[in-house]
Chains A and B, each alone.
Chain A
Amino acid sequence: MAGVTSGSIYALVGLGFTVIYSVTGIINFAQGEFVMLGGMISYIILDSTGLPTVPALLLTIAVVATVGAVLYLMAIRSARKASVVSLIIITIGASVFIRGVAGEIWTRDYVRPPYFSGDESLSFLGAYIQPQALWIIGTTVAAMIVLQVFLTYTVMGKALRACAINRAAAGLVGIDARVMALISFSLAAAFGALGGVVVAPLTTTSYSVGVMMGLKGFVAAAIGGFRSPFAAFVGGITIGIVESLAVAIDWGPFSSAYKDAIALVVLLLILLVRSGRLAAEERVG
């Protein structure tokens, strides 16, 4: 169950990687920072303004989506003809920058926004479960469905998919690739923020959680092959479950400390198993 919960968050991050990569061909190394921003900003808003939960969370997601848009407009778009190496370094720079700003203007301590609906465990068929875990899973599933509907039935969603399939052809029928790239960055930021908002009350958050979140979301997207949001979702749940199983096994005195290392080993294995296909894609793209 814990695996599914954390897996949901990885799925949301992986979704962001997939959306941006399929539309623009860019891997956004700052993806994890959106999760961090989601958690931190929701904490700040709830802590200092006294807004009710739902508007505060929506406001958070809107703010982070704007950050995503600004990131694209300021950094990515100005470097349009940049090489892959430059784009990697630019998004790494953005990641470090966002992390630095968060640590500087807010706090470097771990913070915990309040639970959405109390912290009393519910018992379900004899197993106890945190209501927040249900919120996380429910929100992720809902977000998946909304995204799928958006991509399938709206004009904008169809344009995004067209861009992902063939950028040049999409341009020929009047789809502006730069607008689509902007939308994909905002969408990815919004999904990352959503993940951050729902997970922070359960796990606490801090200005430095972005890197690990980004890596695990990347694993999720890589398992899914960067193809569809659904594949990223499956990838996220998979890595979540693998991780929680690995932690459950007794590895001796260091078991929980190696949790992050396990996800990273999975990352390397996935990359190597898929290396042939990924390399071919990179050459074509």
Chain B
Amino acid sequence: MLAKVRGRAAYAVIVLLLLLVMLAPFEWFLARYTTLMIFIGLNTMLTVGLCLLMGYTGQVSLGHAAFFGIGAYFSAILSKTYDVNPWLAMGIGAAATGAFAYVISYPIFRLRGNYLAMATLGLGLIIYILFRELGDYTGGPDGMYGIPYLSAGGFVFDTPFKRYFLVWGLCLAMLLISQNIVRSRSGRALRAIHGSEAAAESVGINSAQFKMKIFVLSAVYASLAGSLFVHHLRFVGPQPFGFLASVMVVVMAVVGGLASVWGAIFGAAAIRILSDKVLLEFGELDLIVYGLILMVVMIFLPQGLFVGLKEGYARLRLRYVRREAEP
């Protein structure tokens, strides 16, 4: 009974959320936040990949911004310098990022825990340094301007209003795919891996293969987000792909909840609003605040803020329902 009610409530929340997302950019509603919402959508794509990776495989990536960057630079360089169709460039970028993640996942998933985190941190920094130093291709620290808009037939995504629907359409598709993975056999396998890798393998789950799939999927998500990012800003520079950018994704995942697909929206929205609308007023306190969030949430709600609050609420309700049931 309780599960049914909770299930129905969850659907209601999702429908309301969808409605909000669909109506937000219209003039009579939240149009002045369209750009902010586009960034929230892009960040959600990054975050949901990392949530899957951290929550369902128990591994941390501290270099996630690198995949975001690879997608971004592929799109920028191919579509501007080589005049490739932007959609094709985006596809090539995603395929290349996926292939790259696939290749490095072999050596990297021989590591785990601390060493895996350190390796991804190192890898992320190497890729960042390449973005900065391969100036002939990437424009170096100054970046590249004048990247074309995406277009379909005669329809050009030249206003934030149009791009908003593109970004959120893709974002919701990614969330649904992730949701399906989590609720399928693969999802149960992943949870088993998180619980105990040895036990999972003993019942015939190929843990290395599952981890690899999630890793590649999250890399492709990040790459697509990166492509949309450059076609939105029409500019790319190395700055949004460094160490702190990777940490930001971790902050969003931690706020959203590590094993939660829909929490990713919450995490991305909370941090994006915090950084764009609140912290800007107070100068440069962002690092202090992000550091505090990471520490406090992990100490008190290790499953993540959103999930932690949700579980706390469910516990309270259960207690209430039980009390009602007693005569």
Contact = CB atoms under 8 A, between A and B. Distances in A.
Question: Is A bound to B?
Answer: yes
Interface of A: 27, 29, 75, 78-79, 82-86, 88-90, 92-101, 103-104, 108, 211, 215, 218, 222, 254, 257-258, 260-261, 264-265, 267-268, 271-272, 275-276, 278-279, 282
Contacts of A254: 133
Contacts, number: 145
A275 B117 CA distance: 13
A96 B60 contact: no
Contacts of A103: 284, 287
A258 B107 contact: no
A39 to B, nearest CB: 18
Contact of B111 (A83, A101, A278): A278
B291 A278 contact: no
B1 to A, nearest CB: 33
A260 B291 contact: no
A96 B118 contact: no
Interface of B: 54, 58-60, 62, 107, 110-115, 117-119, 121-123, 125-126, 129-130, 132-133, 243-244, 247, 250, 254, 258, 283-295, 298-299, 302
Contact of B119 (A78, A93, A271): A271
B290 A89 contact: no
Contacts of B243: 211
Given A93-B298, A257-B132, A278 B287 contact: no
Contacts of B302: 79, 82-83, 86
- Shortest 8 CB-CB contacts between residues of A and residues of B: A97-B291, A100-B287, A93-B294, A100-B288, A96-B291, A93-B295, A27-B114, A84-B113
A96 B290 contact: yes
A265 B129 CA distance: 12
17 contacts: A27-B117, A86-B298, A94-B295, A96-B244, A96-B247, A97-B294, A98-B291, A103-B287, A257-B129, A260-B129, A268-B123, A271-B122, A272-B110, A275-B115, A278-B111, A279-B111, A282-B114
A271 B287 contact: no
Nearest to B294: A93
B294 A96 contact: yes
A93 B292 contact: yes
Contacts of B122: 215, 264, 267-268, 271
B285 A100 contact: yes
Given A75-B299, A104-B285, 14 more contacts: A82-B302, A85-B113, A88-B62, A92-B62, A93-B290, A93-B292, A97-B294, A103-B287, A215-B121, A260-B125, A261-B125, A261-B126, A264-B125, A282-B115
Contacts of B298: 79, 82, 86, 89-90, 93
A108 B199 CA distance: 49
A27 B122 CA distance: 15
A264 B130 CA distance: 12
Contacts of A265: 126
Contacts of A88: 60, 62, 113-114, 117
Contacts of A27: 114, 117-118
A85 B110 contact: no
Contacts of A95: 291
Contacts of A29: 117
